[in-house]
Amino acid sequence: MRYGLASLGIAAVLVAVSAALMPAAGAAGCEPATAFVGTVCTPGTPGTHAAVIVLGGSGGGDGLARVASRFAKNGYVAASVAYFGAAGLPRTLDEIPVETVGSALDAIASRPDVDPARIALFGDSKGGELALLAASQYPVVRAVVGVVPSPFAWSGAGGGSSWTVHGKPVPYVALQRLGRGTRDGSAPDMRAVYAASMQQHRAAIPSAMFNLENVRGPILLLAGDADGVWDSPAQCRLGIDYLKAHAHPYADECVTYPDAGHAFLFATPQRPLVTGARGGGVFGGTARGNVAAGEQAWTKIDDFLTHALGP
């Protein structure tokens, strides 16, 4: 039996986390997008700016608008882009067209306040997976930040591919359920499930890898060594190894943070995100490790984008 994060309730927890990141109504510089489903935030300074497109994870909807707002405060035109789980979009994370991101890239690149030669993609978890796929398809992308991402396609919520390109499903690695779950009814160890699936279907990984050699800029991959959802360190290493093997001519980086879980980037001392709401959905890491990793990662992301896109 195939299954994904949604069937274990983890996606519901991610929705709650995303809601906490949403800006207050009427936040300065942010407004609903018109050319795609999402939010556009502007820095409020004249001239043309670099741009960052933000893709959230399996929680769906426009969950990372607050992240776009943060980038705008740093001088970028930033847009959070929903790709499922919102009005007018697929209900579930199944066969999502990469062209959803392509349309958003076109819209952002055509804005008079954006320098189309300085556009980056930022993606978290499944959004990191999508960001890497989209960057391999669209040469307008000049830098990528993937937070706990996968460099290859995993199966979607229904067991088929998560993504399509030109209407065709992207080759993927199937996520397999192991056994009948735990006796007490709790969610199984998702990292173990993903690791076992990678081992069982290792022959499928090469065809499921994205053509990262096509990305026209540097790639930053961030992982937590105590990720409780999937083995983000191993996946990031696969991505970096692929880039090196294909002589990608940019300063690609992979950083793994100690004692950090799946949601470390959004951890705070008040909400360290070791587990989800009411203990459901184990993100992993320790409270101290997640908070420290988040602080270090944001500094790393800001420096990376400054160097990749220019001031």
Q: Residue with structure tokens 């991610």?
A: 14
Read off the pLDDT of each residue in 167-190 and give the average, rounded to a whole number: 76
**Spans of all domains in the chain:** 14-153+211-305
How far, in whole angstroms, is CA 304 from its chain's centroid? 16
pLDDT of residue 185: 59
**Contact (CB, 8 A) for 173 and 152:** yes
Evaluate the CA torsion angle 120, 126, 132, 133 in order and state its sign.
Answer: negative
pLDDT of residue 22: 42
Strands (E), 82-132: 96-97, 114-124
Angle of CA points 49, 53, 59, to nearest 5°: 155
pLDDT of residue 176: 82
- Please state, rounded to an integer, the average pLDDT across all residues of the chain: 90
Question: Is the pLDDT at 54 greater than 50, yes or no?
Answer: yes
Q: What percent of the chain has pLDDT over 90?
A: 83
Task: Classify residue 180 by its DSSP letter.
Answer: T
pLDDT confidence band for 26 (50 / 70 / 90) = very low
Provide the Cα torsion 294, 38, 41, 51; round to 10°.
80
**Contact (CB, 8 A) for 64 and 90:** no
Question: Is the pLDDT at 55 greater than 80, yes or no?
Answer: yes
Read off the pLDDT of each residue in 223-235 and give the average, rounded to a whole number: 97
Read off the pLDDT of each residue in 14-29 and give the average, rounded to a whole number: 49
- pTM for this entry: 0.92
- In this predicted model, what pLDDT tens digit does every residue of 246-281 receive, in sequence order? 999 999 999 999 999 999 999 999 999 998 655 556
Backbone angles phi, psi at 221, to 5 degrees: -115, 125
Per CATH, domain 14-153+211-305 is 3.40.50.1820: yes
255 forms beta bridges with 222
pLDDT of residue 91: 97
- In this predicted model, what pLDDT tens digit does every residue of 123-156 receive, in sequence order? 999 999 999 999 999 999 999 999 999 999 999 9
pLDDT of residue 182: 54
- In this predicted model, what pLDDT tens digit does every residue of 79-130 receive, in sequence order? 999 999 999 999 999 999 999 999 999 999 999 999 999 999 999 999 999 9
Higher pLDDT, 178 or 75: 75
**Contact (CB, 8 A) for 303 and 219:** no
Separation between Cα atoms, residue 239 and residue 234, nearest integer Å: 9
Question: Is the pLDDT at 28 greater than 80, yes or no?
Answer: no
